[in-house]
Amino acid sequence: MPSRTRPGVWGWRLAVATGVACFLTLVGLPLVALVVRVPPGELIRRAASEPVLQALRLSLVTSVSATAVVALIGLPVAYLLATQEFPGRRVLETLVEMPMVIPPTVAGVGLLLAFGRAGLAGSALRAVGLSIPFTTLAVVIAEAFVALPFFVTAATAGLREVEPRYREAAATLGATPPYAFRRVLLPLALPSLAAGAVMTWARALGEFGATITFAGNLPGRTQTLPLAVYVALQSDVEAAVALSVILLIFSFTLLLTFRSLTAARALGPRAHRSRP
């Protein structure tokens, strides 16, 4: 009996198609609405203006810095979570996920109360002559805070996916843990680490709430592109839309590029998954 005549198949297809159509409407339509609102000429003229370039530059610098910071402090955490069993592990795992679930504005308040002038670490920071709030550094910290879970989650999964037999093979060949990490674990987990870094960067680029709370909204110093959109919205809707479209095109292009690159890699045989 041909499968298409069997009951349930058409209903199933219809359900999938409906879901996809709803998704396209929900996520696609607002994006399309933004893009068609501004004529291309107007967009280019706006994009070339100094305030926009300034915000874009600041967004780029801070989001890339935040990604670097996250990778640096996230990798040890991911390594610990992926390779060790220890008491308090669940607590640490939950802590890693926290920035993902708390509202960014709450994160900003928390950062202010921790690293602000009157914060817990404020006097210690003042003692070394450091004042963080309302600086570009504060933007980086705010972005790193909210984006960290994306990297740590992906990196932990990636490191855990490397089969123990490779770690054991390295150990029996005389590789110390750091050597094995550098030459076996890291290269094998690299695709996951890269994916985590890209998601981290994308999240950092779109960060708004924590930034405006902790770093303020100073053009040229802490006013990133999302903040500039918010400000523009109060006075000039057309400008806000143009800024949004620039941000949108920018991130869409980068995500798509990364996706194509990893897809090309994944098409090759993933030999380390299959056993001989």
Partner 1 sequence: MLTARVRKRRAARAAASDFALDVDIAQEEGRTLVVVGESGAGKTTLLRLLAGLEVPDAGRIALGDDVWFDDGAAGVARPAWARPLSYVGQDYALFPHLTVRDNVGFGLAARGAAARATRERVAAVLDRLAIADLADRRPRELSGGQQQRVALARALAPDPRLVLLDEPLSALDQGTRQEVRGELRELLARSRCTAVYVTHAPVEAVLFGDRIAVLEQGRLTQVGDREELLRRPRSPYVASLLGVNLFHGTIDRGPAGGAGLVHVRTTQGSLVVPDPGLTGEVYVSVNPRDVTLYLSPPVGSAQNIMYGEIAEMVPQPPDGERVRVVMRTKPPLVTEVTRAASETLRLAPGVWVHAGFKATGAAVYR
Contact positions toward partner 1, by CB under 8 A?
A: 163, 165-166, 168-177, 179-180, 183-184, 187-188, 269, 271-272, 274-276
d(CA 61, CA 20): 36
What's the min distance (Å) between Cβ of 84 and partner 1?
14
The three-point CA angle 243-246-250 to 5° equals 145
Do the Cβ atoms of 139 and 63 come closer than 8 Å?
A: no
Q: Which is nearer to partner 1, 83 or 251 (CB)?
A: 83
Q: Which is nearer to partner 1, 138 or 185 (CB)?
A: 185
Q: Which is nearer to partner 1, 97 or 168 (CB)?
A: 168
Q: Which is nearer to partner 1, 117 or 165 (CB)?
A: 165
